Amino acid sequence: MATPIDFYFDFSSPYGYFAAELIEGLAVKHGREVHWHPVLLGVIFKATGAIPLLLVPLKGDYAKHDLKRFARLHDLPFAMPSNFPIAGQHASRAVLHVQQQDPQLATQLAQALYRAFFVNDQNIGESEVVLQVAHALGLNTEDLAAGMHSEAVKNMLRDETAAAQARGVFGSPFVIVDDEPFWGVDHLPMLDEWLKRGGF
Amino acid sequence: MATPIDFYFDFSSPYGYFAAELIEGLAVKHGREVHWHPVLLGVIFKATGAIPLLLVPLKGDYAKHDLKRFARLHDLPFAMPSNFPIAGQHASRAVLHVQQQDPQLATQLAQALYRAFFVNDQNIGESEVVLQVAHALGLNTEDLAAGMHSEAVKNMLRDETAAAQARGVFGSPFVIVDDEPFWGVDHLPMLDEWLKRGGF
């Protein structure tokens, strides 16, 4: 079995949302599995001194334009949320909690949360909204609420973020496969080529 | 006649070198001309507070790895220069001077200067090296030396850089076509698609 694709993302990252829509199709094409790693990029940015993309002068305005254009090109629904950025800890913890029981369902939840935020303008920074999205997927929200607020899952997110940072993850989306790092949704075509050729 | 592709680049930009190798082929495919605009990104960075990519923590190391990988994927020769970064004013002024007489020859000079720097490790930050590269192309180096150091050409570079900044150019390579901005060599496939479809 080929090694999995490690997919790192922050729920506040619009390019992360695009990658979340595209990564599974790419993986299936090459017989790979995707391991989904929600991380808190804010924690990593504090360590590296980086600024969220959309707040960078000029580059931020360019990105706002580029995001809409990328969505049109790939036929993905997209609207900048009215509350932005949000803190992704509740959404991230929900995904990590569900992952322990059912990784595939956790992937569906991650995609549903991203769509809630970047398509339907729901504020997934709030735990109630995270639970509503989970409920619509048929999840047991009582179990999920307890899990999301448990120390174990809080630690899990802390550990995931630290592990990502230790592997050199500095942005979202970020993919590592066979120890090869790919940053940004613009690098998915290169990842595709990498998997096709088995490296180059 | 379709409007030209405005191609902005800094001679110290390795991704700019890659774009310089790829942009003419892309333009020909869509019946467009390329207008080459050497600019001094350092001047723009001073205004925007940006840091040169290769000096950014983590991102810089990633970029060094990504550059070599990009070169392999596109079969382009590439080696990080031992003197890096350099000040691109002499190289830029040489190109602007030649452009007044022969735009096509100026494009060849720009590509030759980029290759001298990113393939043959020649320090194009020095005016003598710029003249050597021009000489190898058969240019009149006496005329070029006088032009490069003239107030008229110095002002031209200042104006080009200011005009680029006014159009929102904040990095290298940067392309504007039909008022649509494309930043980074990773965006050339999107530019290709844009020109094919006539926008999207």
- At residue A124, the pLDDT reads 98
Tens-digit pLDDT profile for residues A114-159: 999 999 999 999 999 999 999 999 999 999 999 999 999 999 999 9
Q: Is the pLDDT of residue B1 over 80?
A: no
Alpha-carbon torsion (A187, A189, A195, A197), positive or negative: negative
**Average pLDDT in chain A:** 96
| Contact flag B57-A48 (C-beta cutoff 8 Å) | yes
Does pTM top 0.90 for this prediction? yes
> Inter-chain contact B58–A168, Cβ cutoff 8 Å?
yes
Phi, psi angle pair for A34, to nearest 5°: -110, 130
Assess contact for B154 and B127: CB atoms under 8 A.
no
Radius of gyration of chain B (CA): 16
> Closest by alpha carbon to B5, among B35, B25, B28?
B35
Which positions in chain A touch B184 (Cβ < 8 Å)? 186
Given A73, A168, A190, which is nearest B200 (Cβ)? A73
**pLDDT tens digit string along B128-174?**
999 999 999 999 999 999 999 999 999 999 999 999 999 999 999 99
Q: In 3-state terms, what secondary structure has residue A107?
A: helix
How is chain A split among helix, strand and coil, in percent rounded to 5?
60, 10, 30
Here the ipTM equals 0.93
Using CB atoms, which residue from A59, A66, A72 is nearest to B170? A59
A103-to-A91, A95, A99, B92 alpha-carbon distances in Å: 15, 9, 4, 54
Nearest chain B CA: its distance from A20 CA (Å): 19
Reported as half-sphere exposure (CB side, CA atoms, 13 A), residue B144 has a value of: 28
A49, B65: Cβ pair inside 8 Å? Answer: no
Across the interface, of B58, B59, B72, the residue whose CB is closest to A200 is: B72
Alpha carbon of A200: minimum distance to chain B alpha carbons (Å): 7
- With contact defined as beta carbons under 8 Å apart, do B76 and B21 qualify? yes
Whether A48 and B58 lie within 8 Å, measured CB to CB? yes
> pLDDT above 90 covers what percent of chain A?
91
